[in-house]
Amino acid sequence: MNDPSVNEQPANQPNTPIPEIKPGAHWTKKKSCVISAVFLSLLLLLSLLITLADKGKVGKGKVGMVKIEGVLGLDIDESTIVEELQDYRDDNSISAVVIRINSPGGAVAPSQEIFEAVRKLRAKKSVVVSMGSLAASGGYYIAVAGDKIVANAGTLTGSIGVIMEIPNVEGLMGKVGVRTEVIKAGSHKDMASMWRTMSREERMILQRLLDDVHDQFIEAVADNRNMDVAEVRELADGRVFTGRQAKELGLVDEIGTLEDSVKTAAKLAGIEGEPEVVTKKKGLSIRELLKEDMGQMFGHIFGRANPASGMQVRFLMSP
């Protein structure tokens, strides 16, 4: 007889089957995670290689676009424009650059800084300047640094001259009984003060200063337009020209549109077919927008009214 104690289980113990553990199950799951991680890493590496390869290729048919719009030193931050030009100079995927100018000019130093940045860019890449409605004085100063200048027939350009505007409120202050007392070390330290009439000697000093800056403008045009200094000096009395007049005088190269300027740049760079036009995206954060708008607002309010900014030398087309 069989012993019943061998086969019977206690009544309070459930009959639960023992789960079967397949050999290698944990390894299979770990292997899947490793494969996924390797796959993602390869995708990231491939994306990085494509980006680097694209940036390193020369002559891909890309034309960079830089826009200079507004008054230099007031609406336009020259450091931003210079940085943009440097980026295009160092980017090997960009074969040529078009600079679109819509500006009456402005402060001398910003004009000269952008001018030098364009010259450095021109040493490595083809640069074509496209003139919009207005590219005068400092705007024209920048333009001459390019390989070619393309203007519309009705563009206003030229205005090769220098101006300094100094308000004089001495008469007004006398009427209201206000007088400014000045303590200075150096006889000309308060030269160009708005609180008093300028002396003859001070006017001569400032005139020599403007003449020197004017000569710099004339020499820049003559050197970069392959013109005789005397020939440029005859045109450098501050007058403006239409694009068509400027072409006849040798101040611009072609009459055309922005689209024509892009085609000219592509041709100079040896780009075949339709070029891809690239522009730098501007930051649109609220902080940046407020910074720019407030800077422009206060610049317009205080730029001409602040006594401390009264003596400003400008390449500016002024009525």
Three state DSSP letters for 55-104: HHCCCCCEEEEEEEECCECCCECHHHHHHHHHHHHHCCCEEEEEEEEEEC
Mapping DSSP to helix (H, G, I), strand (E, B) and coil, where does residue 241 land? strand
The catalytic position among 57, 189, 282, 291 is 189
Is residue 287 in some structural domain?
A: yes
Residue 179 confidence (pLDDT): 86
Task: State the Cα–Cα distance between residues 241 and 221, nearest whole angstrom.
Answer: 15
**Can you give the CATH number for the domain in which 103 is found?**
3.90.226.10
How far are the Cα atoms of 32, 165, 169, 204 from residue 196, in angstroms, in the given order? 85, 14, 7, 16
Instruction: Name the 3-class secondary structure at 261.
Output: helix
Q: Among 111, 130, 137, 193, which one carries the catalytic annotation?
A: 137
Residue 189 a catalytic site member: yes
318 is catalytic: no
The conformation of residue 244, written as its DSSP 8-state character, comes to H
Query: Does 224 fall in a domain?
Result: no
Is 254 a member of any domain? yes
**Count of C-beta atoms within a 10 Å radius of residue 221:** 24
Where does the pLDDT of residue 318 fall: very low under 50, low under 70, confident under 90, or very high at 90 and above?
low
Residue 219 pLDDT class (50, 70, 90 cuts): very high
Residue 104 belongs to some domain of the structure = yes
C-alpha dihedral, 255 to 123 to 317 to 201, nearest 10°: -150
Give Cα separations from 104 to 70, 142, 213, 243, 261 (angstroms).
7, 11, 17, 14, 20
| Structural domain range at position 93 | 59-163+239-316
pLDDT tens, 38-64? 777 777 777 666 555 544 444 458 999
Tokens of 179: 């007088």
Domains contained in the chain, number: 1
Report yes or no on 305 lying in a domain. yes
Check: pTM over 0.85? Answer yes or no. Answer: no
